[in-house]
Structure 1
Amino acid sequence: MSGDVSPRQAASSAFLLVAVGGFSLFWAVFLSMLMRNSFLDVDIENLWHHLVLRIALFVGFGLCSFVVSRTPEGVIGNRRRNVMTALVALFSIIAAVSSATYFITQTAHPLGFDLIVWALAGAGLCCLFFLWVESVSAVSQASIVKCLALSVVCGCGFYLVINMLPSPFNIAMLAVCPLISLGILKALPRETERSSAEAIPLAESKKNAHMSWAFGAIYVVYGIVFGLGAGSVTQIAGDAVLFVGIAVLAALGALAAYAFMQRFAGRIAQSNMLRMVFPFLVIALVPMSFMSNVVYTLCNLLLLGAYVFVLLTSIAYELQTANKRRASYLFFIGRSQTALCVGLIAGYGLGLAASAAGAINLSVLSAIALGLVVLLAAFVTFSPTEPFVHGTENGEASPGSAGEAGSAASEDGTGAGDPSGEGPARGEHEPGHWKACCATLAERYGLSPRETEVFYYLAKGRGIEHIQNKLFISSHTVKTHTYNIYRKMNVGSREELLDIIEDEKRSQRGE
């Protein structure tokens, strides 16, 4: 395996336009399968039946995510891509045949048939999702966030179109959208195509990822809460107002994710991002426990917006973290999606149990979800370590956390983390190992000799003026080299650069 990592570049306008259009069709179909819709939930009085089908959907999605996360090569090869493309095409065939059959006969399919159909549909949607994630993962972090957010916003518009159309036109749209999305994927500009040199074996990804058990546990609890909310929306009578509400709240969740990543990318850890969602979950779940009708519906839709926010920010964080830690993006995102699916299945399952028993109403389930959120908030807030990463118990700075030494370095050349003027801002007790890490990173990211010199000073926490005086170059030249270094290493701040060095140190120690 090559040790080189191609620097991720900003996406061109043409790439973004095509990617947003194609990816949006996935989100339109995904929302149609996830939420209450106009033609798949015709016989809504059989609430338990619809909950069972959505459990089957996420069983298929979750199993496919798990298989993808275990990809031995760490990238989607041609053979695997062909299989995934076939499963997407199978989704379209299934959607067309099963929906059209129901529309024509007005007779429900046998439950066993529906379970198989929805599980295969979940696998097909999962394949389309990962094919699009692969396409956008090779561009810069800013382009990834923009593509994810805009594609969801556009997808919400397509969701409305699908649900507002009369049958059988909505059925045709549901079946055709994945095929069109695949076609757009094939026509996508190849300026950002991943090469086989970027393949990272599964064993190396596991070693470099430093994931803890809490990573999955937190996402499972989130999935339970979101599953309860989505299951509750399924019982609400479908009309144009509800469909508009679903589209608007999902779009707002995407825009909130975009604004958050623009504002805090590189300066806030993923666990802190999850903490910020707690107030919105509490606001949504408290009224759900004792109110109904319009307020109840709005609360469920607020949960949908929070789900979209968590989903998009998690994808962006995990793509960034995978690149920094030299691990497969399929491993990171596959693990998180599997955990979310497990939680969604459990959430739908709680609603199914309540519906079948008739002894527990959805208000009680909302109170249960609120209790889970409170416990989760207490765990994440008061946990003394970063819950996503192994190795922080010994006092190491966790990847993704702000680098105090780097952020405290002033532009006048005084590095707060390096009072002696010689040692690095982090790891002063082992300068030799620190220099070896910097040399390895400079070679890996293809830094020029002059960029490497600037990189060493940046890694020490030095400011612009200090660097220009040491290297006898202008401040403009220092800024140009700094920009090129950040671009090649796909970072947006000094803190992210220092985090990469910390991750490399851990990797070389074998931690």
Structure 2
Amino acid sequence: MRHSTTVKRNSLATAFAKIEENLKVRYLGIGFVWAWIYCSFETSAVYPDRDGISINADPSWLVSATVVVAAMIIGGIVLRKTDLSTSKCMRVAAPVLVAFGTVLSGIVPLIGIEPWLLYCTSGITTGIGTALICLMWGDALSRLEIEQMEIAVPAASLVTLLCCLVFPYIQGVPGILAVASLPLISGALLKLFYREREGKPVAARIVDRPERGIVLDLVRIAVVLFAAYLLVGCLGAMSESEDLVQQVSGVDVPTLIGSGFGLVLAICFIMFSVRIDFSSLFRWLAPLLVLSVALFPWQEVAPNFISTTIICIADTSMQVIAYIYVIGLAKRKAMSPVLGIGLTQGFVQLGVLVGNLLGVWAGHAVSEGTLSVFVLALGLICLISFATMLVPQGAKKPFVRDRPDAPDDEWETKNQCARLAERFGLSTREQQILEYLAKGRSQPYIRDELILSKNTVATHVKHIYQKLNVHSRQELLDLFEGR
């Protein structure tokens, strides 16, 4: 019993040590951008007249949602060949534009007038600023190692969740300034990130002409994201700004629970999926989205609570996995990370925009009796069903065995691994992984080659180290060089 407890403690210590090694606060800046997107439109200090979670909160909402779509897609295309780490002016201007637009939108209701010029200025500045800072973070995260990125993106989502526990409940001018500080924090972390990476090799190169199949798959994923977020936006626009649970507790419980479960789902997917691709995730999310729509027509407390929670689960997990998947494509030198983030996130915002417009129209039509909410729900279910057909199927890469004409040094390494496996009792799979480690291959590379999950490869590597009595990759390589 004591031995089992000691092993568990050592495993937890090893896991935390690995997270600490691969995760730094400066890597979490995109989480503050996501937090701003949620908190700015949930904070009553910024939008006191919000009616539902939709663009009808304020004219600047509509302008911002429209501008960010164009800025994301156009920016991704125009800047795809640009080294954004050298764009110091853009790095400063983007967060300042978002903060300025937030303050401007917040003070308009305080002065008691509705100047369209100020609303348009607020929407344009926040839309352009948000798009630019998201594109820069896509470029920045592509410079990390795969294992670092797979820790940083979920951790950034956790930052968003924590911010949502505090910022929406700050009232008055302090609330406006608090929300406006989020993009500034993100910009400061981006500056620290690029400063740390100065002089280091870029993990993802800029590709002039990405493979045609990759581009087509990316477009299909963007369309699927559009359909999913159209559903999210439509249901959000038709929902009450505060349900009964929130009125009683004072906290947006469905959003917090759903975001938490969505983050856990994304982490489990990263750890245990044999390959991180969008198709594997969406096979699980599509039924959840259909269930949330099916529950929506019944506006009792329990169905509404479950529907909202499921939507938040899908939103959080899709956001995390879509970022990791797109940046993973860039790291495999298949495409520019800026183009991938611009296209997918642009279609996400387009789905939110169209969904909110549809929700506002449908809400009026339902209240007037010209549209049945059940007919609307059926239409949304059909939309998700057809979108599922567009999800590209991730092709699994077969394991290529060593050829008979392999170089002599490869055969020598293979023979050394066979001798070590026999001497220390390694399994067949552990011997296979040891051969890759002896060649200096990383764990992400081994995952792709052998089609294994991250957790499975990490477990095998841990067992190999224990059996060979080594504690690092360098000690393992030294073991081969010394034989």
TM-score interval w.r.t. the shorter chain? 0.7 to 0.9
Answer yes or no: is 1:204 the counterpart of 2:214.
no
- Equivalent in the alignment of 2:29: 22
Q: 1:245 to 1:37 in 2, by over 3 A?
A: farther
Answer yes or no: is 1:482 the counterpart of 2:428.
no
CA contact (8 A) 2:232 2:355 kept: yes
Q: 1:252 to 1:349 in 2, by over 3 A?
A: same
Please give the alpha-carbon distance, in whole angstroms, between the structure 1 residues aligned to 2:305 and 2:116. 28
- Equivalent in the alignment of 1:186: 191
- Equivalent in the alignment of 1:94: 101
Q: CA-to-partner distance for each residue in 1:420-474, whole Å, 9 max, x for gaps?
A: x749xxxxxxxxxxx9xxx9xxxxxxxxx95xx37xxxxxxxxxxx972399874
Q: 1:315 aligns with which of 304, 323, 326?
A: 323
- 1:490 is displaced (CA, Å) by 4.5
CA contact (8 A) 2:138 2:327 kept: no
- Equivalent in the alignment of 2:139: 134
Partner letter of residue 487 of structure 1? S
- Equivalent in the alignment of 1:114: 119
Please give the alpha-carbon distance, in whole angstroms, between the structure 2 residues aligned to 1:326 and 1:58. 30
Please give the alpha-carbon distance, in whole angstroms, between the structure 2 residues aligned to 1:307 and 1:11. 28
- Equivalent in the alignment of 1:303: 311
- 1:53 is displaced (CA, Å) by 4.7
- Equivalent in the alignment of 2:150: 145
- 1:82 is displaced (CA, Å) by 1.9
Please give the alpha-carbon distance, in whole angstroms, between the structure 2 residues aligned to 1:13 and 1:136. 17
Q: CA-to-partner distance for each residue in 1:192-226, whole Å, 9 max, x for gaps?
A: 4565795424x423557342453333222112112
TM-score (norm 2): 0.74
Q: 2:449 aligns with which of 490, 494, 497?
A: 494
Please give the alpha-carbon distance, in whole angstroms, between the structure 1 residues aligned to 2:56 and 2:113. 10
Answer yes or no: is 1:375 the counterpart of 2:381.
no
- Equivalent in the alignment of 1:270: 278
Q: 1:269 to 1:158 in 2, by over 3 A?
A: closer
Q: Output aligned runs, 1:59-458, within 5 Å.
A: 59-71=66-78, 74-77=81-84, 80-102=87-109, 104-105=110-111, 107=112, 109-111=114-116, 113-188=118-193, 190=195, 192=197, 195=201, 199-201=205-207, 203-205=208-210, 207=212, 209-212=214-217, 213-233=219-239, 235-236=241-242, 239=247, 241-266=250-275, 269-357=277-365, 358=368, 359-360=370-371, 364-377=375-388, 379-380=389-390, 387-388=391-392, 400-403=394-397, 405-406=398-399, 422=404, 450=409, 453=410
TM-score (norm 1): 0.70
Partner letter of residue 369 of structure 1? L
- Equivalent in the alignment of 1:7: none
Kindly report the root-mean-square deviation, in angstroms, between the aligned alpha carbons of the 2 structures. 3.7
- 1:492 is displaced (CA, Å) by 2.3
- Equivalent in the alignment of 2:415: 469
Q: 1:204 to 1:422 in 2, by over 3 A?
A: same
- 1:309 is displaced (CA, Å) by 0.8
Q: 1:141 to 1:234 in 2, by over 3 A?
A: farther
Identity of aligned residues (%): 15
CA contact (8 A) 1:257 1:309 kept: yes
Please give the alpha-carbon distance, in whole angstroms, between the structure 2 residues aligned to 1:215 and 1:48. 25
Q: 1:472 to 1:252 in 2, by over 3 A?
A: closer
Partner letter of residue 56 of structure 1? V
Q: 1:73 to 1:136 in 2, by over 3 A?
A: closer
> What is the DSSP-based 3-state SS (H/G/I as helix, E as strand, rest coil) of the residue aligned with 2:216?
coil
Q: 1:327 to 1:374 in 2, by over 3 A?
A: closer
Residues matched between the structures, number: 418
- Equivalent in the alignment of 2:38: 31
CA contact (8 A) 1:253 1:305 kept: yes
Please give the alpha-carbon distance, in whole angstroms, between the structure 1 residues aligned to 2:310 and 2:163. 20
